[in-house]
Structure 1
């Protein structure tokens, strides 16, 4: 309940009295358990971050061919990015980051950066197996792919400039386009 309130209204607009009225308990309970509203907010954000971790970590991509693994990674990433709670969490990070920089960092670490690290591990395996000819560092390649896949959609969704969801066909198309561009590039070999 506290998570939904903070995600919908931000830290400042949610009072302890409102949370107590909705969930029961007392100020004393909140102060004893969390040290106050800031402690409760911190715990809520940490739990939301843990949910982000579990969602992407549940993928088992190790035994798939690189193209299929990247497609599955892409589709799951797009599902996560367009989830209303994920969008709300990122809005919260933007709004409350200056006041809670450690939480803004946690949201980044458990979201965008976690995706990069998970993909980098796959890319390292592909490089070791000879599936990849790029000598660029795996984490740099992973960051470029994740940015290609999600950044413009996420920015437009967060700012209200574009849709906040994609249907299955749009997700499939975006995942395929990004995967092909990542593996094959956009230039003819003669231009390189």
Structure 2
């Protein structure tokens, strides 16, 4: 984070005027600690994400987000560049939550099957969440009138997932185990589809709860088996 993070302009002026003893008022309590700034940023992202999903991207203004999150509109512009930048951060933050703690795939020395299982379970858990279904439907419904919405979604979500997988499949030790007639991009695309299966149906028939761990485990095992059967080098 830089000097423009959520600190000196976190509170609207009217809130600062109501309580001069707060950090937003006349008696400064000093710059917030890093943990405090992180908590404020997380609160802002959660508020923005909830409003986007509840009301729709086009129906939410920065003023509305700022009012509910108790920050200044200027703070959002400085930190995120505007509404589309804030949406991008919401998606990045949500994705990072589900992949938190996973080793870097570019250096992970575990067997390929174990690495792909770990990745796929996290990926399927993320996409099976009701909020993820809401996000997909929002993007599909509003992308015509707000093309920047679709671009931000793709850049922060699907593109990053495919790039991460492609870099893994490009590792010399992994590449040597896979058929040479498939590019790393194609491998990434097909792995995701094998794992997701008929996941697009969830956009038409949304579930009220996420898939259970047992269901996710079964789907990942079947999807990986199908994927590896088609792309691994055949033993001589």
Question: Normalised by the shorter chain, which TM-score bucket?
Answer: 0.7 to 0.9
Gaps of 5+ in 2: 1-46
Q: Deviations over 1:135-188 (max 9, x none)?
A: 3101111111112222521x12222266752111110111011111111139xx
In the TM superposition, residue 43 of structure 1 has moved relative to its aligned partner by: 3.8
Q: 73, 80, 87: which one pairs with 1:45?
A: 87
When normalised by structure 1's length, the TM-score is 0.76
Is 1:56 the equivalent of 2:99?
A: yes
* CA distance in structure 2 between the partners assigned to 1:74 and 1:7 by the alignment: 25
Is 1:119 the equivalent of 2:165?
A: yes
Is 1:144 the equivalent of 2:190?
A: yes
Contact 1:157 1:163 in 2 (8 A): no
* CA distance in structure 2 between the partners assigned to 1:16 and 1:119 by the alignment: 34
When normalised by structure 2's length, the TM-score is 0.63
Task: Tell me the residue number matched to 1:169.
Answer: 214
SS at match of 2:145: coil
The structure with more helix, counted as a fraction of residues:
1
In the TM superposition, residue 68 of structure 1 has moved relative to its aligned partner by: 0.7
Misfit runs of 4+, over 4 Å: 12-25, 32-35, 126-129, 161-164
1:185 to 1:102, Cα distance in 2 relative to 1, 3 A: same
* CA distance in structure 2 between the partners assigned to 1:135 and 1:57 by the alignment: 33
Contact 2:129 2:211 in 1 (8 A): no
SS at match of 2:170: helix
* CA distance in structure 2 between the partners assigned to 1:156 and 1:102 by the alignment: 25
In the TM superposition, residue 73 of structure 1 has moved relative to its aligned partner by: 0.9
In the TM superposition, residue 50 of structure 1 has moved relative to its aligned partner by: 1.8
Q: Give the total of aligned pairs.
A: 179
In the TM superposition, residue 122 of structure 1 has moved relative to its aligned partner by: 1.4
* CA distance in structure 2 between the partners assigned to 1:152 and 1:175 by the alignment: 13
